[in-house]
Structure 1
Amino acid sequence: MTRPAPLEAWHRIAETRDAAGLDDLLADDVVFRSPAVHTPQEGRAITTAYLTAAMHVLGPQLRYLDEWHTGNDEGPDDGSGSAVLEFESIIGDKTVHGIDMLRWGADGRLTSFTVMARPFKGLEALIGAMAAELMKGLEAEQ
């Protein structure tokens, strides 16, 4: 089974930890759902900020363990699709195990990116590290 192009693009970005490719991959109205924030975050700019921070926090130790997807030969004929990517990473001395759920439209741009993480201690470490990384990004913009 061949990986759909949006999924290939995400894997390239995650492996290289180069956020430059996000501009082409994310739809203008993409929605990001974080395990740490109650409300969905809407738009390319905020999603780029979260994913860039995640690449710094999870990236060095990030390993994708498995994936399931529709698109190309499966699913709708319009080019849209979805994927679930199982991942593992280490933050400090805590292991984080989770999934990324991605959806894309017919144009190949991601319309939704949802992250779920466990166990609780790993999620706590992730929340703390992400908050610190997002603050660094805000300070750099000022």
Structure 2
Amino acid sequence: MESAVTHPFRAAVEADDHDAVHALLADDVVFTSPVAFQPYEGRPITAAIVRGVSRVFEDFRYVREIAGADGRDHVLVFEARVGDRRINGCDLLHTDDDGLIDDLVVMVRPLSAANALAEAMGAQFDRIAREAREESERTAGA
């Protein structure tokens, strides 16, 4: 079912509002990347990855939003560019009882664009890991 209301995650990503993205993630969110074998667990690393993706994607735009009947599942279909590669993909979101995203799966195509994304994100990963570590240290000390 196509959604008439924009999901808050979509609005936050489109506004490049990383604080809002962070606030929408559950502490125990699981992020499944299209280019990594193991999922990432937790708000700090997931928020850092979303920030990293925003630095890598060019001409990013959501083109469609689909909501499940129970309102807890959403599919956000997007288009972007990584270097000279056009990429199509979707963000699969699931929200918990509090309305926070507890599961985020990203899928992309074609393979050549997924490979370009993997390479570009690999170049970002030291920064992503540092940002996640710094956030974890801040929240542990709070």
1:67 equivalent in structure 2: 65
Give the distance between the partners of 1:94 and 1:55, measured in 2 at CA: 16
Contiguous gaps of at least 5 residues in structure 2: 135-142
- Aligned runs of 1:123-138 on 2, under 5 Å? 123-138=114-129
| Inter-partner Cα distance in structure 2 for 1:14 and 1:104 | 16
Structure 2 match to 1:40: 39
Distance 1:81 1:19, change over 3 A: same
Given residue 83 of structure 1, which amino acid in structure 2 is its aligned partner?
H
TM-score normalised per structure 1: 0.83
Shift of 1:56: 1.4
- Shift, 1:138, TM fit: 4.3
Superposed CA deviations along residues 93-112 of structure 1, whole A, max 9, x for unmatched, are 10111111000012110000
For the 8 Å contact 1:29–1:44, the answer to whether it is kept is yes
Contact 1:81 1:103 in 2 (8 A): yes
TM-score by length of 2: 0.83
Partner of 1:25: 24
Cα–Cα, structure 1 residues 126 and 84, in superposed 2: closer, same or farther, change >3 Å? same
Q: Are residues 1:82 and 2:73 paired?
A: yes
Structure 1 segments of 4+ aligned residues over 4 angstroms from their partners: 138-142
CA distance in 2, matches of 1:10, 1:121: 27
Gap runs ≥5 in structure 1? none
Offset of 1:135 from its aligned partner?
2.3
Preserved CA contact (<8 Å) 1:81 1:104: yes
Q: 8 Å contact 1:17–1:56 — kept in the other structure?
A: no
The alpha carbon displacement at 1:47 in A equals 0.7
CA deviation digits over 1:22-65, x for unaligned, max 9? 3320001000000111111111111111111111112x411111
Computed over aligned residues only, the root mean square deviation of the Cα atoms, in angstroms, reads: 2.0
Task: Report SS of the residue matched to 2:105.
Answer: strand
Distance 1:56 1:132 in 2: 11
